[in-house]
Amino acid sequence: MITHQIEGLSGQSRILIGESLNNLNQYLPRTKVVVITDSNVAQYHRALFPSAELIELGSGEEMKSLGAVRGIYSRLVELETDRSSFIVGIGGGVVCDVTGFIAATYMRGLRFGFAATTLLAQVDASVGGKNGINFRRYKNIIGTFKQPEFVICDATLLTTLPEREVLCGAAEIVKHALIRDPELMSYLETNYEKLMQIEPEVISHVVSVSVAIKSAVVNQDEHEHGLRRILNFGHTFGHGLEKIRRLSHGEAVAAGMMIAARISMKKGILGQAAVQRIEGLLKKLKLPTQVPVNRSELMNALKRDKKRQEEGVHFVLLSGIGKTVVEKISFDDLEALADGIV
Ligand code: GLY
């Protein structure tokens, strides 16, 4: 097992790569435990936490809403959950986001941990302490910073994931390579097929390297005043695309990363060979590299993104594989830069 540690202002988090969900009980205090999960996990893994109270979420982004959260608060009251209770989120990105938000706000905060059951949750959503829900058309606009005490990343849970779900996580792994790690990029170029086939050794390596990269960034800038912005690479246009097209988060981020890479080339800081390499890897991973879309429609969607600051965004560019440059760019300039690309 490999352990990564986040030392946040909002708490300490241990991310346990290769730990088994079967050992969950070892990490739980001897108090009331409430498990928040999805129907899939509840169906297959209920026996692992026989004495815990269970709150089952429906699926999809609609769960990240005030309405859904209100229902969970009600259940917590009914279950007489108090400040000595412990909450565990077992599931994918939505379960982790909602559980973290609930645990950070109910009674001003309860102890909590995660078992991440999708690749996306293991490499991204369960790590970092940001817990957000959506409001109106804004993604993650209401939220908290609070670190889960532990995150269990059990690779055996990923073997039954549908391919689209695997690729969703793969996009965030590629992002980590592009912003911080040329070696991971080469590794993915060699091992992409094994990644798609969920080969345990490859999965364990890419999850571990991704978590190491994300933890190191979060350890330096938990509250996203500077460095942490690089984790948003590909997400400015990605979130815009996600709003206006039926794309998974990973597909939208992949296309968003290509737009950001092409903009970086247009600005003269990234060479064509690097752009072609990124495109080649994303294509191998069956992720989209271009989504036909109307530029003004996309610009309107991304202006509504929560990262809007005054009239622009801190846009993450690449100056090489593993090297980023963050620039404050106005929406007008971004639209002009996207001309010929989107
Ligand atoms: N929980 C996801 C993040 O902090 O980025």
As separate numbers, helices (DSSP H) first and strands (DSSP E) second, the chain gives 12, 11
SS3 218: helix
Task: Tell whether 233 and 332 lie within a shared domain.
Answer: yes
CATH number of the domain to which 60 belongs: 3.40.50.1970
pLDDT of amino acid 199: 95
Residue nearest to atom 2 of ligand 1 (CA): 125
Domain shared by 154 and 187, yes or no: no
Closest of 147, 132, 1, 112 to residue 65, by C-alpha: 132
Residue 312: what pLDDT?
85
d(CA 66, CA 187): 41
Ligand 1 atom closest to the CA of 132, numbered from 1:
1
Rounded to whole angstroms, the Cα distance separating 247 from 269 reads 29
Contact predicate 122/157, CB 8 Å: no
Do 174 and 241 belong together in one domain? Answer: yes
Domain count, the chain: 2
Which of 276, 285, 243, 267 lies closest to 338 in space, CA to CA? 267
Give 128 Cα–ligand 1 centroid separation in angstroms. 4
Identify whether the C-beta of residue 183 lies closer than 8 Å to the C-beta of residue 131.
no
- Ligand 1 pocket test: pick from 101, 123, 131 the residue with the most ligand atoms within 8 Å of its Cβ: 131
Q: What is the pLDDT of residue 310?
A: 63
pTM here is 0.96
Identify whether residues 243 and 141 lie together within a single domain.
no
> How many angstroms does the Cα of residue 218 sit away from the middle of ligand 1?
9
Let me know whether 238 and 298 are in one domain: yes
Which residues surround ligand 1 with Cβ inside 6 Å? 125, 128-130
- Among the three residues 118, 141, 160, which one is the final residue of a domain in this structure? 160
Measured in Å, residue 125 CA sits from the centre of ligand 1 at 5
Quick one: which atom of ligand 1 is closest to the CA of 129?
A: 4
123 Cα to the center of ligand 1, angstroms: 10
Residue ID of nearest Cα to ligand 1 atom 5: 128
Cα-only R_g, the chain: 19
Q: Are residues 245 and 330 in the same domain?
A: yes
Residues 123 and 254 in one domain: no
Residue 124 Cα: closest atom of ligand 1: 2
What is the atom index within ligand 1 of the atom nearest the CA of 100? 1
Q: Which of 201, 311, 185, 318 is nearest to 257 (CA)?
A: 318
Q: Which atom of ligand 1 is nearest to the CA of 218?
A: 4
Tell me the pLDDT of the chain (342 aa) as tens digits: 999 999 998 889 999 999 999 999 999 999 999 999 998 888 888 888 888 999 999 888 889 999 999 999 999 999 999 999 999 999 999 999 999 999 999 999 999 999 999 999 999 999 999 999 999 878 889 999 999 999 999 999 999 899 999 999 999 999 999 999 999 999 999 999 999 999 999 999 999 999 999 999 999 999 999 999 999 999 999 999 998 999 999 999 999 999 999 999 999 999 999 999 999 999 999 999 999 999 999 998 888 765 555 678 999 999 999 999 999 999 999 999 999 999
Residue 46's pLDDT is 87
Range of the structural domain that residue 87 is part of = 2-160
Alpha-carbon distance of 181 to 136, in angstroms, equals 36
Q: Are residues 173 and 128 in the same domain?
A: no
37 and 153: one domain? yes
Q: Which residues of 89-127 are buried (b: 16+ CB within 10 A; e: fewer)?
A: bbbbbbbbbbbbbbbbbbeeebbbbbbbbbbbbbbbbbb
